[in-house]
Amino acid sequence: MTATTPIRWGILGPGSIAQVFAGGVAASRTGKLVAIGARNPGKPGLAEAFPGARIVDGYQALLADPDIDAVYISIPHPGHAQWAIRAAEAGKHVLCEKPLALTAFEADAMIHAARKAGTFLGEAFMYRLHPQTLKLVELIKSDIIGEIRMIKSSFGFAMPRFMPQHRLYANDSAGGGILDVGGYTVSVARLIAGAAAGLPFAEPDKVVGTAHLGQSGVDEWASALLHFPSGIVAEVSCSISLNQDNVLRILGTKGRIEVPDFWFAGGNRDVGLGRIDVIGADGSSETISVDEKRHVYSFEVDGAGEAIRAGRQEFAWPGMGWADSLGTLRVLDRWRAAVGLEYEIEKAPLRINTISGRPLRSGGTAIGKRAIPGLAKPASVVALGFEDFRTFSSGSILLDAFFEAGGNLFDTGFVYGAGYTEKLLGEWLKNRGVREQSAIIAKGAHSPLCYPDVIGKQLAQSLDRLQTDHVDIYFMHRDNPDVPVGEFVDAMDREVKAGRIRGPFGGSNWTMQRMDEAIAYAERTGKQKPGALSNNFSLAEMLEPIWAGCVTSSTDDWKAWLTSRQMPNFAWSSQGRGFFTERAGRDRRNSEELVRVWYSEKNFGRRDRAIELARKLGRSPIHVALAYVLAQPFPSVPLIGPRTLGELDDSLQALDIALSPAELEWLDGGSLHAA
């Protein structure tokens, strides 16, 4: 593609905003409208609404069209992620109408797909590409109104009445103001707070939100307060059932700036001349206009077109780049969480397919499987932990990807997320129908409730949350040395006999002495022996506990014990919690945890050798660190906790690194040189 080649556009979904965008393409310097993808191609008036464009039967057909370079996605919000991902898979560039996705987690999956495909992905906040936005940023930076203290931003309108089938009121279309127009108010607040700090955008450290949820459960009017680390406070509001003045106000120590109808540059969906009113502390006023007569949507068409021609995968600033879109959506996520707004289409009963809209696939081989002593089914070589997720729609993205890659071992705990991790996994296993193919690690009896009689009570609650009648592996989450170890063995053995634990059990954060005592007790009394451990284990040795009661098994004595007993260890913090990334270094001491837990010359020697070997292998040190855990001469299963699909893919790069015994020894102590 040359610098003058027209970008051939297809529009996915022929709604009213699609017609406006078509006008922007016609007025652009870089684009040409070629085709419209419609689910009802015979609908009267389509040809007249999009003159000169072919009408294609269906969205998939549009993506398969070889004469299309880029697609504009204008369908309702819930379809954005699915079709953007499929477009990337088809090699098409994507400009997606706002919001980019329902959540930041969905947007991250879209970005991940585009990154892998090498295609462009942009969020269509068209106001960001209009010249008025850049002029506003210049005024902020010029100090014309002094130090910015407060931002007030509104975008609200009143529909004629409550219309349950209209997309703005329909729950299954993710209606309401926060997603439809709230993103404008949040994105500009982040832009201005960033400009005041000399940054492209800024992230708030506090978000407080409220809203009125109407008959259909969507927000009809809503407001939020954003506080930024610089001290700037932003008041943002949106509505679909209430007219607002839609004026952007920026308050500084020397005056204020007011921008009426900022979202359309003071105009409409065709032309906005731009108007910025600068009002001094003394009441003096000056009106500034960029006097722009081009079609307001042509700027985003050209912004996307210029990026595509240059081989860039995201908008140049002040367009919405990937980090900017994610930041805005994270604020919207927090706003929605504050008001309890979770759409029915985000919950398990209706979220039956993967993020790409396809049924879950099994049989993946990227993650291999191994036999674990005492476990009836093969288990993936790594186990997935997922404490960070608080909704089904967000957590299922990662669970689906892990399973489709071949993963079937899931790490949970009674105390994780106050029980939500177990609930989420249970919903996912039932929804996807893969309980029998999966292995569940459960943990209970965490301090201070670390007593034998707690095990059965908490396991019963865990099974209810997990929607199953058994777990496959069970760990006491902590130990209580004041209680005879035999009482804990008896309690877990009872659960085995009751069929509620159907594999090995053992201790998490147990000492070698207590494990030996527990095994000896079981052998004397004919009970099931503890057959697994879940202690910290990594290439870097934990110098002191990360949290109270934690135990590391990375010492030479522990390694010898694990090897002699062939005891499986399910290793947490297996990659040193950032020690093998650029966050750590002999001269980097801004992380209290890293310094306290991992910093020693012995560990830095291991880190140096991991870096050296990674360079030879063309990988990262964290890949070497994970490969080290996998290559131990005893069953060693790392627990990984990726938060994004990119982090998951990155972790999987360690799985095809086969370290020799000599390399293991060299990494650990440096006594032998790696081959």
The answer to whether residues 512 and 564 touch, using CB atoms and an 8 Å cutoff, is no
**pLDDT tens profile 12-66:** 999 999 999 999 999 999 999 999 999 999 999 999 999 999 999 999 999 999 9
- A 10 A CB-CB count for 590 gives 7
* Mean pLDDT of the 568-596 span: 93
Return the DSSP state at 151: E
* Residue 486, token pair as written in the block: 């035999």
Residue 674 has pLDDT above 50, yes or no: no
Rounded mean pLDDT of the chain?
A: 96
Return the DSSP state at 668: H
Residue 593 has pLDDT above 80, yes or no: yes
Residue 203 has pLDDT above 90, yes or no: yes
Report phi then psi at 69, rounded to 5: -95, -40
**pLDDT tens profile 548-567:** 889 999 999 999 999 999 99
Model confidence at 1, in pLDDT bands (50, 70, 90)? low
Residue 342 has pLDDT above 70, yes or no: yes
Q: What pLDDT, on the 0 to 100 scale, is given for residue 267? A: 84
With H, G, I as helix, E, B as strand and everything else as coil, classify residue 536. strand
Sheet order of strands, 7-12 included = 54-57, 31-38, 7-12, 70-73, 93-97, 121-124
**pLDDT tens profile 315-335:** 999 999 999 999 999 999 999
Q: How far apart are CA 354 and CA 521, in angstroms?
A: 47
For 486-513, give one letter per residue: b (16+ CB within 10 A) or e.
bebbbbbbbbbeeebbbbbbbbbbbebe
Instruction: Decide which of 547 and 104 is more confident.
Output: 104
With H, G, I as helix, E, B as strand and everything else as coil, classify residue 540. coil
* Mean pLDDT of the 370-385 span: 96
**pLDDT tens profile 143-163:** 999 999 999 999 999 999 999
For 447-472, give one letter per residue: b (16+ CB within 10 A) or e.
eebbebebbbebbeebbebbbbebbb
With H, G, I as helix, E, B as strand and everything else as coil, classify residue 51. coil
Domains and CATH numbers, the chain: 7-126 (3.40.50.720), 536-670 (3.20.20.100)
Q: State the pTM of this model.
A: 0.95
**pLDDT tens profile 525-536:** 999 999 999 999
- What is the β-pairing status of strands 148-156 and 233-239? parallel
Cα 198 from chain centroid? 27
Q: What pLDDT, on the 0 to 100 scale, is given for residue 548? A: 87
